[in-house]
Structure 1
Amino acid sequence: MEMDLITRRQFIKKTGLATGALLFSGSLMSGKKYKKEKRPNVIFVFADQWRAQDTGFGGNKDVYTPNLDLLAKESLTFNNAVSCMPVSTPYRASLLTGQYAQTHGLFVNDVQLNPEAKSIGKEYKAAGYNTAYIGKWHINGNGRSNYIAPEYRQGFDYFKVLECTHDYNNSPYYDNNDTTKKIWEGYDVFAQTKDAQQYITDHANDDKPFLLFLSWGPPHNPYESAPQKYKDLYANKDIALRPNVPEKNKETAIKDIKGYYAHISALDECIGWLQETIKEKGIEENTIFVFTSDHGDMLYSQGQVRKQKPYDESIMVPLLLKYPDRFGKKGRIVDTLVNVVDIMPTLLSMSGLPIPKSVEGCNLYPILMGKQKDNIEGALIECITPFGEWERRSGGREYRGVRTKRYTYVKDLNGPWLLFDNITDPYQMQNLVDEPSAQKVKSELDGLLTKLLIQKKDEFLPGEEYIKKWGYTVNKWGTVEYTP
């Protein structure tokens, strides 16, 4: 492990990139004379629970993702994209604010993001953008099916949203300011994507650029609910399980993964529709298009399910970024570590907009443009308090950890818990935390993690302490109970 690398916060402080983003935007970055009205459109598409390991372009030969594979050939493909706190509400709050969960306070599901927060929708709106959000929201905390008033929409004007549902074939939503609940027609992913296509069509020739978020529910379970056409792709297909799936779980894992892949292939088709619309409307060159996911899914790797865990199947997500005007259309692999908190500052900088001082993430745009050396040392991963599908009765625990390009190191309240060399052990089957030969690396990683926690003023206390601080009401297992 290199000892001369600097941490994420030190990187920001040293370079001044968080407050000096405009130095790397507009004409200074590309040599072109861009006017304000020529700022790029931004289309940010993200799925729920789609792990990095399950794409064709990522090397999975079983899953059918031809449109994403084509997109990857024209995009930056991030090999080290991390979901800091891999669960729905915390991810979404970090995505919109560029802050870690301890700062914005949403470290459990079904609680509300401060309506006064400095968030990405507000920043783009203040800069003259049209703003839109379609799909799953999950940061309002007022029941999963209730109408969300404009003051809680974080700067998004066009708003076709439901807080949360995974009933993809009977999926309710609210249409902007209409308080009458409606139902997306058919499989909600298709209807939401078509609505996004219409939004793109309606705003492609506006004087103002637009910011569009499209948030899909699948491939999150229930796995069996994808349209039959896509389930048929895998009905008779032999599925190669990851080696870290225990023998006792294999039959169930294959069944669930086939349904999971069916959802993925349906979403992949939607990626193709979106790209066709962007090209047809003549805005491809000056549109930033991002595809990613909020977190992954264990799918019986390590004998576990769902998310929140510190293993790669849970924390690593696919991330593609296409922006022909700045990066051309010849795809390339990017090894730079990127965490969810880095997305907001990077997109703002790429769009020529200032980055609020409240942002804790790192602006990666200068690195991507070759103007700054990649000195990002590690991405923080954490569970501030276990809840939901990983309650204490299911083995859930608080942890803090760091994911580097090579290693995963994690501590729980009792001390060092996990250490994996992800190069020599890509399926994380050998925990090196007590191995004598790994103690030097362990010490270095522990030092890095300690610095990261000091910088974010994280005392790493029991989860109950943070619940008390934020005043959340939880059940005996630490979960905020919600109304459907």
Structure 2
Amino acid sequence: MTRPPNLLFIMADQLRADYLGCNGHPTIKTPHIDALARRGVNFTRAYCQAPVCGPSRMSFYTGRYAASHGASYNGVPLRVDERTLGDYLRPLGYRVGLVGKTHMKRDEDGMSRLGIDPDSSRGVLISQCGFEPFERDDGLHPDQLANPDLPYNRYLREQGYTGDNPWQSAANSAEGDNGELLSGWYMRHNHLPARVREEHSETAYTTRRAMDFIEETGDQPWCLHLSYIKPHWPYMAPAPYHEMYGLEDMLPAVRSNAERECPHPVVEAFMSHGESREFSRDEVRERVIPTYMGLITQLDDHLGRLIDFLETRGLRDDTVIVITSDHGDYLGDHWLGEKELFHEPSARIPMIVVDPRREADATRGSRNDQLVEAIDLVPTFVDYAGGDSQALNHVLEGRSLHGLVTRGPADTWRGYAFSEADYAWRPARKELGLAPDEARAFMVTDGRWKYIHYANHTPQLFDLATDPDELEDVAHCDVNRAVRGELEAALNEWFKARRLRTTISNDLVEQRTGTAHKRGILFGVW
């Protein structure tokens, strides 16, 4: 390469790490993602920093933990002063664009206080999490909230689909025997084909818009955040993907009667949520999971289209590709639905990094089981773009994966991975009688043990070596007292290590240390 590589940052919303062929799923078809894993490094122990769309993505985009950036749940604004990926890459000559979802809410109060017009060029970037919004679509468009002028809605109407919100009535609904509309929001309809033709579906459309961005950008180095909405709910797939998988392709639910009969109080409160009660029923899992798998295979097919597009235009060997997800999906495991808590189906994410350069040949096709975090991607992209992520270590809390991709596993790497949850908005909080500031939980894992600290409740501990399915909480076994103490201490150290002095670099602190007298500030002199 004669210039820094292009960066293709692909995220699939709510994609479980274990629902890929390259990660061991025995029946799902993901040949193109599997091929990318053979071309790159598959990080098998990657964790998101908060298993909910909004805070997870804000950590991905800032390179900082939710405890540091403060956007701890969906709808919590990201502070106006938080720097994001685009702020780091644009000064290095990159066009930094978005196609798809961010789930970011802008800090309107902060922008108003600073006199920043949201419609100005600067205001748009701050409003869009630092990305140029080539096409933003967060994919949550019920009729009462839908924007008729949403580009995807306009596109669907151009294809002949009627109504103000064809996103819902066509792309995420089915049709009954008598022509009636069957909404995809109701999981009883998820086994039916969406009313939209496959080539007009969200995944197909999003891929096409990504190609438009790449073609329009030309010779300038680019970073594209291609953020797919599926396989996130509504779980509706177009034909033929809606019937590609059957009950014989499903994995058994990972759960035990003991979990249900004697659960941790916080987990029990989440079990009482409607989505958990529904996903505890086999009938629901049998409607949803084959379609969920079909949506993943559809995504994989369109990623194949995109890779062919890059190759046709001579960009395949000039583009670093990352494939990941913001969090997983319980799908009934542990008697739970959705995400938010810290079992592997929820907090662990896929992370595949493909570096086409000769320098990465030594690791090509490898699996790396060192602990990786979502916040590692911002420093990784900075280094690939020719910047110096170490010079930003007073702000960035992740570690660059550049060395792991080009040289292989590191002798010295992080010993722990962390994730956090703020469930103040969830019914579980009220069921537990907690104040909003008390509904917090934190996870730490060293790869063998996973420890979960709950504010105002006892902890949990799982031994991932002997109990990889996390069916037995061993926090209260006396034999594990030392392990509990070690992981609790690691969590306390993590709290104390947050990057709070973000306005001045560590290098500048180093240069100025002990220089007051030289600068004429003569305190304590006789």
Determine whether 1:153 maps to 2:128. Answer: yes
Q: 2:313 aligns with which of 268, 273, 281?
A: 281
Residue 221 of structure 1 is matched in structure 2 by 233
Report the Cα offset of residue 163 of structure 1.
4.2
Report the Cα offset of residue 95 of structure 1.
1.1
Q: 1:351 aligns with which of 378, 381, 385?
A: 385
Q: 1:232 aligns with which of 217, 229, 243?
A: 243
Is contact 1:50-1:297 (8 Å) kept?
yes
Do the aligned partners of residues 398 and 158 (structure 1) sit closer, same or farther apart at CA in structure 2, a change above 3 Å counting?
closer
Residue 416 of structure 2 is matched in structure 1 by 378
Please give the residue correspondences for 1:9-48 in structure 2 after superposition, counting only pairs within 5 Å: 38-48=3-13
Q: Distance in 2 between matches of 1:141 and 1:391?
A: 26
Relative to the length of structure 1, the TM-score reads: 0.78
Report the Cα offset of residue 423 of structure 1.
1.8
Q: Distance in 1 between matches of 2:166 and 2:135?
A: 11
Give the secondary-structure state (helix, strand or coil) at the position aligned to 1:73. helix
Residue 364 of structure 1 is matched in structure 2 by 401
Is contact 2:417-2:444 (8 Å) kept?
yes
Q: Distance in 2 between matches of 1:110 and 1:69?
A: 34
Report the Cα offset of residue 115 of structure 1.
3.8
Report the Cα offset of residue 70 of structure 1.
1.6
Please give the residue correspondences for 1:296-445 in structure 2 after superposition, counting only pairs within 5 Å: 296-325=328-357, 326-328=359-361, 330-355=364-389, 356=392, 357-370=394-407, 372-388=410-426, 391-393=429-431, 397-414=439-456, 416-445=458-487
Please give the residue correspondences for 1:252-291 in structure 2 after superposition, counting only pairs within 5 Å: 252-291=284-323
Aligned length: 414
Report the Cα offset of residue 128 of structure 1.
1.0
Q: 1:84 aligns with which of 49, 72, 76?
A: 49
Is contact 1:137-1:164 (8 Å) kept?
no
Q: Distance in 2 between matches of 1:395 and 1:45?
A: 40
Is contact 1:81-1:319 (8 Å) kept?
yes
Q: Which segments of 5 or more consecutive residues in structure 1 lack a partner in the other structure?
A: 1-33, 459-484
The residue type paired with residue 456 of structure 1 is R
Determine whether 1:138 maps to 2:74. Answer: no
Report the Cα offset of residue 54 of structure 1.
0.9
Do the aligned partners of residues 345 and 416 (structure 1) sit closer, same or farther apart at CA in structure 2, a change above 3 Å counting?
farther
The residue type paired with residue 423 of structure 1 is A
Which segment drifts farther, 349-358 or 83-92?
349-358
Report the Cα offset of residue 446 of structure 1.
1.8
Q: Which has the larger radius of gyration?
A: 2
Determine whether 1:188 maps to 2:199. Answer: no
Q: Distance in 1 between matches of 2:148 and 2:465?
A: 44
Is contact 2:64-2:398 (8 Å) kept?
yes
Q: Distance in 2 between matches of 1:346 and 1:72?
A: 18
The residue type paired with residue 445 of structure 1 is L
Residue 75 of structure 1 is matched in structure 2 by 40
Q: Distance in 1 between matches of 2:300 and 2:373?
A: 23
More helix by share: 2
Determine whether 1:294 maps to 2:323. Answer: no
Do the aligned partners of residues 440 and 151 (structure 1) sit closer, same or farther apart at CA in structure 2, a change above 3 Å counting?
closer
Q: Which segments of 5 or more consecutive residues in structure 2 lack a partner in the other structure?
A: 109-117, 155-163, 168-198, 261-279, 501-526
Do the aligned partners of residues 321 and 182 (structure 1) sit closer, same or farther apart at CA in structure 2, a change above 3 Å counting?
farther
Report the Cα offset of residue 374 of structure 1.
3.5
Do the aligned partners of residues 127 and 425 (structure 1) sit closer, same or farther apart at CA in structure 2, a change above 3 Å counting?
same
Report the Cα offset of residue 387 of structure 1.
2.5
Q: Distance in 1 between matches of 2:207 and 2:227?
A: 9
Do the aligned partners of residues 80 and 173 (structure 1) sit closer, same or farther apart at CA in structure 2, a change above 3 Å counting?
farther
Report the Cα offset of residue 320 of structure 1.
0.7
The residue type paired with residue 43 of structure 2 is F
Report the Cα offset of residue 142 of structure 1.
8.6
Residue 518 of structure 2 is matched in structure 1 by none
Report the Cα offset of residue 227 of structure 1.
0.8
Q: Deviations over 1:275-322 (max 9, x none)?
A: 111111112222110110000111111100111101111100111110
- RMSD over aligned CA atoms reads 3.1
Residue 241 of structure 1 is matched in structure 2 by 252
Do the aligned partners of residues 154 and 85 (structure 1) sit closer, same or farther apart at CA in structure 2, a change above 3 Å counting?
closer
Give the secondary-structure state (helix, strand or coil) at the position aligned to 1:71. helix
Is contact 1:78-1:320 (8 Å) kept?
yes
Q: Deviations over 1:327-363 (max 9, x none)?
A: 2383110112111111111221122213333212222
The residue type paired with residue 199 of structure 1 is F
Q: Deviations over 1:411-436 (max 9, x none)?
A: 11235421111121111001110112
Report the Cα offset of residue 68 of structure 1.
1.2
Which segment drifts farther, 389-398 or 277-286?
389-398
Is contact 1:161-1:173 (8 Å) kept?
no
Report the Cα offset of residue 457 of structure 1.
8.4
The residue type paired with residue 159 of structure 1 is F
Q: Distance in 2 between matches of 1:389 and 1:123?
A: 38
Report the Cα offset of residue 62 of structure 1.
2.5
Give the secondary-structure state (helix, strand or coil) at the position aligned to 1:218. coil
Give the secondary-structure state (helix, strand or coil) at the position aligned to 2:284. helix
Determine whether 1:450 maps to 2:461. Answer: no
Which segment drifts farther, 431-440 or 248-257?
248-257
Q: Distance in 2 between matches of 1:293 and 1:392?
A: 30
Give the secondary-structure state (helix, strand or coil) at the position aligned to 1:438. helix
Is contact 1:398-1:412 (8 Å) kept?
yes
Do the aligned partners of residues 390 and 259 (structure 1) sit closer, same or farther apart at CA in structure 2, a change above 3 Å counting?
farther
Report the Cα offset of residue 268 of structure 1.
1.1
Is contact 2:395-2:499 (8 Å) kept?
no
